[in-house]
Structure 1
Amino acid sequence: MNALKKFFASTALAVSLSAAMAGMVEAAQLRIAGGVGVLFAPIHVMKQAQLLEKHAKAAGQELTLDMVSFPSGSAVTDALLSGNVDIVAAGVSNALLLWSRTNGDVKAVAAVSGTKSVLISKDPDVKALQDFKDTSRISVTSLKVSNQAIYLQMALDKEFGDPTKFDPMMVQLGFADGVQSMMNPQGPTDAMFAGPPYYQQLLKHPNMHAVLTTLDVAGPTTNLLAFTTTAYHDANPEAIKVFLAALGEAQALINSDPEKAAELYLASTGEKFTPEELAAIFKEEGNVFQSMPLGVHQTAAFMAKIGLIKTKPESWRDFFFADLQSLDGAAAAN
């Protein structure tokens, strides 16, 4: 649990500051903490197409989007709780950890996206989980608490009844560093649990193969949530409505016109893909671009089971604000 203590220690000084935001007036700028990668595509499409500004104007508001990035998850946490960003787009596990740690003061506004991740090995003898050796080294972006780490623990629990079985094999590397390690014949890892577009990069190489995917473990699921503090949410109801409308349009565009969405995403990020390559990735099996959550409760239940969060929520509604809960599709969300 040392990793959890370190994660939470960085939030301790900032938690009390969130209460000061309760008196905020409606913001003229919406500051969203996010990153790059397919999961963040709806936020980049929203930014590049100025969808937030469009929906704000339609509602008689003036609101602009400022997308900011941070070097670490703890820095994002501090920024949210101290009021230096308004909404964070981050993994389901991160949102649940903060929801638990703040006793429900942090909740999700909406689902952003979900994509398949793939556990890849370059050891030809490793075809299934039981084939991994004690000497195997598997990279994930954060030990224990990243989306991929959670799914791997879920798979281990199903296969062996022991979610900690691979703990000695786990190595913490960011996606880009993980790919470099896998590409290096002398690199420290021989397996990686990778999200898109990184697993696509690795699977182009003949000595790499898939062992399992998150679809095998949990089916299509939401991986990325947009979440904020109760103080910000309650003080800025119009900004929340505009954000939800803009996010919904961005998600719909990815689903209906992935080529156009790819162009917008690449214009925002400057990443080195062609629009055709990225559009193909958007259309891959298992991707979910919708505001209603899919499969998040099973993640929450598992995190409670292994002690990562202290309370098991009864449903997704417990760790989401009420904005989505009366809309079409809410009854089917989970």
Structure 2
Amino acid sequence: MNAFKKFLVSTAVAVSVSVGLGGLAQAAELRIAGGVGILFAPIHVMKQAQLLEKHAKEMGQDLTLEMLSFPSGSAVTDALLSGNVDVVAAGLSNALLLWSRTNGDVKAVAAVSGTKSVLVSKDPDVKTLKDFKETSRISVSSLKVSNQAIYLQMALDKEFGDATKFDPMMVQLGFADGVQSMMNPQGPTDAIFAGPPYYQKLLKEPNMHAVLTTLDVAGPTTNLLAFTTTAYHDGNPEAIKVFLAALKEAQELINREPKKAAELYLASTKEKFTVDELAAMFAEEGNVFQSMPLGVHQTAAFMAKIGLIKDSPASWRDFFFADLQSTEGAAAAN
């Protein structure tokens, strides 16, 4: 079993293979590609508390969880489409890009989580989007297609009627590198659009302040989806049922007992937070831990509007498998 290592999934994906349906037996192991950070907390809670194994046993199945990491977004995409990983937990924009580029052969199984992201600036003159200068440099984890890049484009479209207005200002840096650049007085960037726990770290600095949050742009939304291929989904219906039950319990545990969930997460990831710090992050405004999607259709519609995906889905149901679509809460999902 591979050791789990930190990785950030790039949203710049390229799909060059098609997905077939032939010859899949029921799985004895569920291989999930994921990362670290609050968005991935339900997957880590599921792993550490052995919730997948628990629900498999209750359903008369023998199923274990393996977490895998990959060096890049293209690598994890290839692994999913070739059948070397079963489920990917990654950004909403990732899932929509794959759904579009595979003509629907990749869809979401469930929502995993959503957290607020914050556009942080260290320029004291920048209080709103209108205050950014041509010389400003804003970092995002992936140009154009990361969740934060999408939300920034949505904000620019609302404010200026031009989603591309800040393109010359954008710099691609992973969150950790982006924070380091912001902390360096001579760093090349003076703003970053980042998720937790990165924006919390920066906002503790006296010269940093928030300009915009994703709550201002889109409200509380799902940012992370669990998605898979039609081949795996249709070939392993019992594993999907077990996964959904285990994911729901993990999400409920985070909502109900954030300190216990924080202990499980930290035991899984070995990150350097205290239990109280992490539990407080779980409870922050705008965080969403539920399997039903929230606010995903507005993002999909915007990605279609600016040409990132080919077609605008009629609703969230178009890019999700049917498993959740007749269950409690489906009518309120969006």
TM-score tier after normalising by the smaller chain length: over 0.9
1:22: Cα distance to partner? 3.1
Match of 1:215 in 2: 215
> Which amino acid letter does the alignment assign opposite residue 123 of structure 2?
D
Task: Provide, for residues 191-249 of structure 1, a one-character-per-residue CA deviation record: whole Å limited to 9, x for no partner.
Answer: 00010011000000010000000000000000000000000000000000000000000
Match of 2:85 in 1: 85
Counterpart secondary structure, 1:244:
helix
> Which amino acid letter does the alignment assign opposite residue 300 of structure 2?
A
Does the aligned pair in 2 maintain the 1:22–1:232 contact within 8 Å?
A: no
Match of 1:3 in 2: none
Match of 2:251 in 1: 251
> Which amino acid letter does the alignment assign opposite residue 15 of structure 2?
T
Aligned mates of 2:181, 2:82 — CA distance in 1: 36
Aligned residues: 324
Aligned mates of 1:178, 1:235 — CA distance in 2: 41
Match of 1:313 in 2: 313
Does the aligned pair in 2 maintain the 1:87–1:227 contact within 8 Å?
A: yes
1:71: Cα distance to partner? 1.7
Match of 1:266 in 2: 266
Identify which range, 276-285 or 22-31, moves more after superposition: 22-31
Match of 1:204 in 2: 204
Match of 1:145 in 2: 145
For structure 2, the 5+ residue unaligned runs are 1-10
1:73: Cα distance to partner? 1.2
Match of 1:104 in 2: 104
Aligned mates of 1:27, 1:325 — CA distance in 2: 24
> Which amino acid letter does the alignment assign opposite residue 66 of structure 1?
E
> Which amino acid letter does the alignment assign opposite residue 135 of structure 2?
T
TM-score, length basis structure 1: 0.96
Query: Pairwise mapping of residues 96-175 of structure 1 onto structure 2 (< 5 A)?
Result: 96-175=96-175
> Which amino acid letter does the alignment assign opposite residue 295 of structure 2?
G
Aligned mates of 1:183, 1:7 — CA distance in 2: 27
CA separation of 1:7/1:200 partners in 2, compared to 1, >3 Å: closer, same or farther?
A: closer
Match of 2:224 in 1: 224
Aligned mates of 1:52, 1:169 — CA distance in 2: 44
Task: Provide, for residues 114-165 of structure 1, a one-character-per-residue CA deviation record: whole Å limited to 9, x for no partner.
Answer: 0000000000000000100111110100000000000000000000000000
> Which amino acid letter does the alignment assign opposite residue 120 of structure 1?
V
1:72: Cα distance to partner? 1.5
> Which amino acid letter does the alignment assign opposite residue 270 of structure 2?
G
Aligned mates of 2:223, 2:300 — CA distance in 1: 12
Counterpart secondary structure, 1:61:
coil
1:69: Cα distance to partner? 1.2
Match of 2:192 in 1: 192
1:70: Cα distance to partner? 1.3
Aligned mates of 1:204, 1:194 — CA distance in 2: 14
Q: Which has the higher helix share?
A: 1
> Which amino acid letter does the alignment assign opposite residue 209 of structure 1?
H
Does the aligned pair in 1 maintain the 2:122–2:191 contact within 8 Å?
A: yes
Counterpart secondary structure, 2:15:
helix
Match of 2:61 in 1: 61
For structure 1, the 5+ residue unaligned runs are 1-5
Match of 2:286 in 1: 286
Match of 2:4 in 1: none
Task: Provide, for residues 48-98 of structure 1, a one-character-per-residue CA deviation record: whole Å limited to 9, x for no partner.
Answer: 000000000001111111111112111111111111100000010000000
Aligned mates of 1:22, 1:164 — CA distance in 2: 43
1:326 and 2:326 matched:
yes
Aligned mates of 1:194, 1:43 — CA distance in 2: 21
> Which amino acid letter does the alignment assign opposite residue 52 of structure 1?
L
> Which amino acid letter does the alignment assign opposite residue 11 of structure 1?
V
TM-score, length basis structure 2: 0.96
Task: Provide, for residues 260-304 of structure 1, a one-character-per-residue CA deviation record: whole Å limited to 9, x for no partner.
Answer: 000000000000000000000000000000000000000000000
Does the aligned pair in 2 maintain the 1:22–1:234 contact within 8 Å?
A: no
Counterpart secondary structure, 1:23:
coil
Aligned mates of 2:245, 2:22 — CA distance in 1: 23
Does the aligned pair in 1 maintain the 2:15–2:102 contact within 8 Å?
A: no
1:11: Cα distance to partner? 2.3
Match of 2:15 in 1: 11
Counterpart secondary structure, 2:98:
helix
Counterpart secondary structure, 1:22:
coil
Q: Percentage identity across aligned positions?
A: 85
Counterpart secondary structure, 1:90:
strand
